[in-house]
Amino acid sequence: MRKPAECETMAHIRAEIDRLDEDLVRLFAERAGYIDRAAEIKAEVDLPARIGSRVEEVVANVRRHALAHGLPPDLVEKLWRRLIDWSIAREENRLGPDSMRKDS
């Protein structure tokens, strides 16, 4: 693993980006495991896949993390809202329609 300043060629940079991409995919897969477990628990306690207050809490958290790490919060929010939509769709596939569940 090289720090950006230690990369002397495009091959070095590409190798590090590829490594980071693999790490990101692994982390997204790990996150998906938690989403699957959340769907199981939500089914047991009759919660919907989409809980609006939690969505906004997650977005606020990632915006704060983006600022702390020097990334544009608007970009990170857009990425996370897409990830959240995918996660909710994944939960809904396991839970069924939300129309009968309460948002809490």
CATH of residue 66's domain is 1.20.59.10
Residues making up the annotated binding site are 14, 31, 42, 91
pLDDT of residue 104: 52
pLDDT tens string 6-65:
999 999 999 999 999 999 999 999 999 999 999 999 999 999 999 999 999 999 999 999
Place of tokens 């857009």: 78
Closest by Cα among 80, 91, 93 to 51: 91
CA distance from start to end of the chain: 44
Judged against a pLDDT cut of 50, whether residue 103 lies above it is answered with yes
CB-based burial of residue 1 (10 Å sphere; 0-12 exposed, 13-18 middle, 19+ buried)? exposed
* Confidence (pTM): 0.86
- The answer to whether 103 and 46 have CB atoms below 8 angstroms apart is no
Range of the domain at 86: 4-100
Q: What is the pLDDT of residue 99?
A: 44
104 and 49 in contact (C-beta within 8 Å)? no
**Tally of domains within the chain:** 1
Summarize the annotated binding site for substrate as residue ranges.
14, 31, 42, 91
